[in-house]
Structure 1
Amino acid sequence: MTQIHPVILCGGSGTRLWPLSRKSYPKQFVPLVGHTTLFQASAQRLTGGEGLDFAAPMVLTNADFRFIVTEQLAAVGIDPGPVLIEPEGRNTAPAVLAAALHLAATDPEAVMLVAPSDHVVPDTAAFHAAVAQGLKAVRARGDLVTFGIMPDRPETGYGYLRLSARPDGSGAAVPLDRFVEKPDEDTARAMLADGSHLWNSGIFLFAVRDILAAFEAHAPGLMAPVRAAVEAAKTDLGFLRLDPAAWAGAEDISIDYAVMEKAENLSVVPFSGGWSDLDSWAAVHEQSAPDAQGVARSGPVTAIDCRNALLRSESGAQELVALGVENLIAVAMPDAVLVASMDRAQDVKQAVTALKAKGAAQAEQLPVDHRPWGWFESLVVGERFQVKRIHVHPGAALSLQSHHHRSEHWIVVSGTAKVTVDDEVRLVTENQSVYIPLGAVHRMENPGKVPMVLIEVQTGAYLGEDDIIRYEDVYARG
């Protein structure tokens, strides 16, 4: 049986789903639909499957997300394959090429299934059946296979795939005629009626040898820098960091433009099992099981006489009440609230641009800051003081550090902390506290089997996160 190597592309900021999705913690890591995150659901979809043999998933992400990736996979019981760290975003073509070159070093005959990390595909069995159909085309003809979504409306927000013939209902791959850019509404209606146009899902299946040949033929300029970045990659705590200097020389280009629109051996597997790329709050509304009045709720929400609305409160202490609203999006976060007309869902990124222009931290940063050891959130910020809640995973440790401008007072509220202050090391349990003087070299660890939570009170002239000198760090941060 041919083993399929899943390759999950896990970058991007998801600004259209602000304020829940931000640069510091984008939409693929958030449980937007259901209880698992989009990334976890994507990884689960690329495991198991009757008649299919999936290898451990390879993930391409950036340095900021590397520990989130492994933590979220562990939470759903998936051991990852290689996790490749991109020094900077260069779009999908260099990412796919890097994955292919890495696989080719150990298995030149490998088959890759490339998928974004932030799509919703509710029917996993139907998706596996489509992959099996694509595998036939890869084996028999060496095709580069993409998956086309059977459209159910004249969508203007997606690119399309024009097939050489209408699908015959068997699910078999059909040769691709050409790619079609996002159309206007009249063109989209005509393509829907035509029956030979499918939405471009951005999911691909091909053999490593075939995609490398396609890059050599159609994007040869990418080969040298990406190959150099892979060959000079450095292992770091189980991750593989692509070489930054070589990677910077790769063109920023999508795989569609670099290869797929030029290759002749392309075929498309039609897929009608349900799909969404969740590119807007309107798409989230559609996937969130609205009630008979079209109202989709999440969190502590009260809706009275509302129609066609998405109402989400992301804090258990924050009740969102909507009265008599229609065609509305309301998303309440502890530090920001979005209120928008449903027909302006695609324009939310304009709000992010406006917030960046005024220097608002809410444009890119969530109130909860995720770190390799756990997370923290600011509860109160005032002149010369700040109060945080800090959550440390079992067995995790913060760096050995000191500060120039602040002192800290830690109060453990759950679990046990192992605390180092200069030459003293001691255990601090629930309801106990410890004082960290300004300039003291200190570290906090969780030696237990359960999460450790403490309240930190900072005082000083400057409380920024960049006031830190690291002496030792198990996560190899600078």
Structure 2
Amino acid sequence: MLIPLILSGGSGTRLWPVSRKNLPKQFLSLTGQGTLFQQTVARTQLLEDVRAPIVVASEDHRFLAAEQLLESGIADAKIILEPVARNTAPAIALGALLAVEQDADAILLILPADHLIGDSASFTKAVQLALPVAREGWLVTFGIRPDRPETGFGYIRRAESIGEGAYQVAKFVEKPVLATAEAYVADGGYDWNSGMFLLKASRFLEELGQHAPDILQSVRQAYASAKADLDFVRVDAEAFARVPDNSIDYAVMEKTQRAAVIPVTCDWSDIGSWSALWLAGVRDAQGNLREGDTIAVDTTNSLLRSHDRHLLATVGVDDLIIVTTPDATLVAHRDSAQDVKRVVDELKAAGRSEHSLHRIVRRPWGSYDSIESGDRFQVKRIVVKPGAALSLQKHHHRAEHWIVVSGTAEVTCDDRVFLLGENQSTYIPLGSVHRLRNPGKVSLELIEVQSGSYLGEDDIVRLEDVYGRS
């Protein structure tokens, strides 16, 4: 049984302001068709005799993962929720425990959800080469043949051959300085460490128990009381919080005697920064990667990305990254792309929300767009999916006015339940118990005007919720 295990954690801070904590890069459409997460799922479906994937996702992203799986035509995936981030070794252990329940001999294809692979056929061939090696008990990783000296990746040194296209790992090497990276490329015996693996779930658990028993024991304790919640598997939050934070490389791969590598050339990128996206994208004759409404005059070797209804124009610039969103603009030199996370750190330190939230915030029932705000007021555009409903809730500090723009709204306000059509409105007094539902077959769009002494999202008391958030 071949089971894809997709790791969808991570915040992608180097791709700010497009990638943010509540909507990170794996759930964004950055290149090609669909999001990076959906492209990863689609890649697994090209394999023979593959089962539905297991997805390890954070609590904050559970509905994003579920919705994008359904959009990809995957209805029977298992989604395990991480209460807190604990790195790849614990995440893979969770997936392995679930996999061995399905099949004691299950083989896991472990894939980060945020990687780009341009040549799926070559990757599929590499997986086929890796399968017999994994069945023999090797922990197989995929090494990317380097086409340039790269200081942003770890490297794997190959040892002797152990089968067609497969080699025993001699050593793992940390991210090198440029001169060392140049030497690795010239040597020809080193590959980039991709973070993708193929291994038997039971063998991984054996090796984890041998080399990092504290991690395995803690994960087992958290998983022992796992419960189903809607489409998700929830583990014990307190127990999982005690799991040591460690990667699969440090916990297992650098210690095992059974690490194998299969080199592959598959047009791979981890899309770890804007410069990586520029390198992986289709650039014009001037070397520019452009998306959205852009004008580039005397502009070369730059990445220009504009959001909807916003013109981005440049004159006489070179080697720049310019990215706009409705609430933020990034301007950086391509050589400084790795330092974008420092902006995110400053936003966090200043207590600003732009590091985590977009102006448009997605919810399981739809989305809202904070159009305008000021002292004691805020205006939002709310879109509710057909058949969806917000929680039954109340607020301690604000009242709300709702104006229907299109569709039909079913409104609960204290002991009243009534319908509103286009151009109709209602008032929700401070403290009233209320709910908004879309009973129709088309999206409901309305304008919400909030007024009060405090308008934060944490002034929501959920009394009842179909999405398990109450």
TM-score by length of 2: 0.97
Q: Which residue number in structure 1 is paired with residue 297 of structure 2?
A: 304
- What amino acid is the match of 1:334? P
Q: CA deviation at 1:392?
A: 1.0
**Secondary structure, in 3 states, of the residue corresponding to 2:302?**
strand
Distance across 2 between alignment mates of 1:207 and 1:222: 18
Distance across 2 between alignment mates of 1:294 and 1:80: 43
Q: Which residue number in structure 2 is paired with residue 97 of structure 1?
A: 93
- What amino acid is the match of 1:159? G
Q: Which residue number in structure 2 is paired with residue 123 of structure 1?
A: 119
**Secondary structure, in 3 states, of the residue corresponding to 2:38?**
helix
- What amino acid is the match of 2:270? D
Matched, 1:88 2:84: yes
- Could you tell me which of 30, 45, 62 is aligned with 1:66? 62
Q: Which residue number in structure 1 is paired with residue 325 of structure 2?
A: 333
Q: Which residue number in structure 2 is paired with residue 32 of structure 1?
A: 30
Q: CA deviation at 1:289?
A: 0.5
Distance across 2 between alignment mates of 1:203 and 1:418: 47
Q: Which residue number in structure 2 is paired with residue 256 of structure 1?
A: 249
Q: Which residue number in structure 1 is paired with residue 183 of structure 2?
A: 190
Q: CA deviation at 1:171?
A: 6.5
Q: Which residue number in structure 2 is paired with residue 394 of structure 1?
A: 386
Matches within 5 A, 1:213-228: 213-228=206-221
Give CA deviations for 1:110-143 in whole Å, capped at 9, x if unaligned: 110111000000122221111000002112x211
Distance across 1 between alignment mates of 2:461 and 2:88: 36
Distance across 2 between alignment mates of 1:65 and 1:188: 36
Distance across 2 between alignment mates of 1:43 and 1:414: 34
Distance across 2 between alignment mates of 1:4 and 1:477: 34
* Change over 3 Å in CA distance of 1:214–1:258 after alignment to 2: same
Q: Which residue number in structure 1 is paired with residue 468 of structure 2?
A: 476
**Secondary structure, in 3 states, of the residue corresponding to 1:456?**
strand
Q: Which residue number in structure 2 is paired with residue 294 of structure 1?
A: 287
Q: Which residue number in structure 1 is paired with residue 20 of structure 2?
A: 22
- Identity fraction in percent: 52
8 Å CA contact 1:171–1:270 kept in 2: the answer is no
Distance across 2 between alignment mates of 1:342 and 1:165: 39
8 Å CA contact 1:419–1:428 kept in 2: the answer is yes
Q: Which residue number in structure 2 is paired with residue 204 of structure 1?
A: 197
Q: Which residue number in structure 1 is paired with residue 134 of structure 2?
A: 138
**Secondary structure, in 3 states, of the residue corresponding to 2:102?**
coil
Q: CA deviation at 1:319?
A: 0.6
- What amino acid is the match of 2:156? L
Unaligned runs of 5+ in 2: none
- Could you tell me which of 136, 154, 165 is aligned with 2:149? 154
Distance across 1 between alignment mates of 2:10 and 2:430: 38
Distance across 2 between alignment mates of 1:403 and 1:386: 14
- What amino acid is the match of 1:318? H
Q: Which residue number in structure 2 is paired with residue 433 of structure 1?
A: 425
Q: CA deviation at 1:236?
A: 1.2
Matched, 1:408 2:400: yes
8 Å CA contact 2:53–2:78 kept in 1: the answer is yes
Give CA deviations for 1:388-432 in whole Å, capped at 9, x if unaligned: 011111211101111122111111112211111112112212222
Q: CA deviation at 1:242?
A: 1.0
Q: CA deviation at 1:359?
A: 2.3
**Secondary structure, in 3 states, of the residue corresponding to 1:77?**
coil
Q: Which residue number in structure 2 is paired with residue 44 of structure 1?
A: 42
**Secondary structure, in 3 states, of the residue corresponding to 1:213?**
helix
* Change over 3 Å in CA distance of 1:452–1:307 after alignment to 2: same
- What amino acid is the match of 2:28? V
Moved more, 239-248 or 350-359: 350-359
Q: Which residue number in structure 1 is paired with residue 225 of structure 2?
A: 232
**Number of aligned residue pairs:** 470
**Secondary structure, in 3 states, of the residue corresponding to 1:53?**
coil
8 Å CA contact 1:112–1:208 kept in 2: the answer is yes
8 Å CA contact 1:70–1:80 kept in 2: the answer is no
Distance across 2 between alignment mates of 1:165 and 1:297: 44
